[in-house]
Amino acid sequence: MKYPKTKNLFKRDRTTGELTHEFTDPVFSYLKHNKWIFTEKLDGMNMRCVFNAEGELSIYGRSNNAVIKSDLLEHTKQRVFTVQTQNTIIFGEGIGPKIQRGSKYCSERNFVMFNIADYDEQGNLSWWDWDLVKEVSQEHCIPMVPILGIGGLCKGVSQVAMGLKSRYGDFTAEGVVATPACRQLNHIRVKIKFRDFAGRLDLLEGL
């Protein structure tokens, strides 16, 4: 059970590759004025901490065959083992030296949690409420992806387009991942990347 692909907000022009004003999913247009939570998009390794029906923990990358560096694997086990749950997946990002461009975030490899879901025998995911995810982070000392803002999609796009500062240092964040604040809609996600939106304030039209 991989973490679902996060869609871009707008479609690209097939010729130029530039973003257009057309949403990739009609639901983004419908919910654009709702309250969204913007978390920092990290450039690392997607990871899954899977607790089975007996509460046994297995850790994978985005695929089951992905190679996780030994120190990151051990660090992550120590972080999440104390959660002690069943049929649950803790999703996160491995960051640090020699993981994509993750060395800018920290000097040692680390696991940062960004979501939790329960799963059934068919592989269907039921996402936890955001407040419960934060409780797990606080109670078990598992770092959580930073929240960079809350508001409508217009706010998220404008902040990213103007260069949103990372919570990890004096550099521009990769972008944000936006999730509706409403619990019934927290399975919906969209990514807004700085490299796509830098200087493109024209994309605010229609938002």
Q: Where are the domains of the chain?
A: 7-41+146-204, 45-139
pLDDT of amino acid 194: 95
For the stretch 115-153, pLDDT in tens is 999 999 898 999 998 899 999 999 999 999 999 999 999
DSSP annotation string for 3-54: PPPPEESEEEPTTT--EEEEESSHHHHHTTTS-EEEEEPP-SEEEEEEE-TT
What CA–CA distance (Å, rounded) separates 95 from 97? Answer: 7
Given a cut of 90, is residue 184 above it in pLDDT? no
Integer-rounded Cα Rg, in Å, for the chain is 17
Q: Is 170 exposed, middle or buried (0-12, 13-18, 19+ CB in 10 A)?
A: exposed
Superfamily name and number for 45-139: DNA ligase/mRNA capping enzyme (3.30.470.30)
Share of the chain above pLDDT 90, in %: 75
Given a cut of 90, is residue 111 above it in pLDDT? yes
Asked if domains 7-41+146-204 and 45-139 share a fold, the reply is: no
Binned at pLDDT 50, 70 and 90, residue 187 comes out as confident
- H/E element, 118: strand 110-119
For the stretch 13-47, pLDDT in tens is 999 989 999 999 999 999 999 999 999 999 999 99
pTM: 0.91
Q: Does domain 7-41+146-204 have CATH number 1.25.40?
A: no
C-alpha distance from residue 90 to each of 8, 55, 120, 173 (Å): 23, 13, 15, 23
Given a cut of 90, is residue 60 above it in pLDDT? yes
